[in-house]
Amino acid sequence: MVKYPSGSLAAFRKPVTKKEEHATVRRSYKHRKGVNFSDRGMTLEQKINESNKYYLMEEIAVVHKKPTPIQIVKVDYPKRSKAVIREAYFRQASTTDYNGVYKGYYLDFEAKETRNKTNFPLKNFHDHQIFHLDECLKQQGICFTIIRFASLERYFVTPASFVIHAYREKDKSSMTLKEIESHSYEIKSGFRPTLPYLEAVDKLIADRKSE
């Protein structure tokens, strides 16, 4: 095939029909600047995990999801290269979802989400998680919960101290959205990182220093 000096093959192209032209326009359409659709459908855990990968790659922070302590009892091997766990149980109650280090501070936090629009049920927390967060706070750790209101697509970094107080308050079954708004730092879902929760952690650290 012979190309023209510009590298164009225009002389050999077939005439474009209206249908093909319409299809080309649809394929070349771009979403307006600043709008990101890449993280739609991701769970809160997936967003945090992706963010942690970014923070690690950029040497910003080292944060990992804690492994769940499981005792395997029975394993079958239907194939040499494939093992299937048939029976297992939790060796002990897990603490919180994530921990790590950032700017010399120990981080420990839980990730929770709800489809409620006006409140967050405190039953989503467990006694051992509240106890663990309280113990970490006593050691000067930066402890918090990332709460997602899935129906609203809103994300809050809520200090553990507020969550602990609400959990232990008598006859209190939930934290209202207004309470969370007043005691948290709201963050927006993004691209790199997917969920920039360290922006809120910086504010928690600043609050600690000002106390």
Give the CATH number of the domain where residue 137 resides: 3.40.1350.10
- 59: containing domain: 44-67+93-210
Domain count, the chain: 1
Averaged confidence pLDDT in the chain? 81
- Assess if residue 172 is contained within a domain: yes
Q: What pLDDT, on the 0 to 100 scale, is given for residue 79?
A: 72
- Assess if residue 35 is contained within a domain: no
Task: Kindly indicate the confidence band of residue 10, based on its pLDDT and cuts at 50, 70 and 90.
Answer: very low
The identity of residue 144, as a single letter, is F
- Assess if residue 74 is contained within a domain: no
- Assess if residue 99 is contained within a domain: yes
- Assess if residue 185 is contained within a domain: yes
Find out whether 127 is annotated in a ligand binding site.
no
Q: How do 62-65 and 98-102 pair as beta strands?
A: antiparallel
- Cα–Cα distance measured from residue 208 to residue 50, given in angstroms and rounded to the nearest whole number: 27
- Assess if residue 4 is contained within a domain: no
State pLDDT tens for residues 66-75. Answer: 866 555 556 6
Q: What pLDDT, on the 0 to 100 scale, is given for residue 28?
A: 34
Q: What is the pTM for the complete model shown? A: 0.72
Find out whether 110 is annotated in a ligand binding site.
yes
**Strand partners of residue 100:** 63, 107
- Assess if residue 135 is contained within a domain: yes
State pLDDT tens for residues 93-137. Answer: 568 999 999 999 999 999 999 999 999 999 999 999 999 999 999
Structure tokens at 184: 């948290």
Find out whether 95 is annotated in a ligand binding site.
yes
- Does residue 166 contact residue 114 with C-beta atoms inside 8 Å? no
Structure tokens at 185: 């730092």
Q: What pLDDT, on the 0 to 100 scale, is given for residue 137?
A: 97
Reading phi first (left if > 0) and then psi (alpha if -120 to 50, else beta), residue 191 is in alpha
Q: What pLDDT, on the 0 to 100 scale, is given for residue 94?
A: 66
Find out whether 139 is annotated in a ligand binding site.
no
Mean pLDDT calculated for residue range 164-174: 95
Q: What pLDDT, on the 0 to 100 scale, is given for residue 23?
A: 44
State pLDDT tens for residues 82-93. Answer: 777 666 554 555
- Assess if residue 105 is contained within a domain: yes
The percentage of residues in the chain with a pLDDT greater than 70, rounded to a whole number, is 70
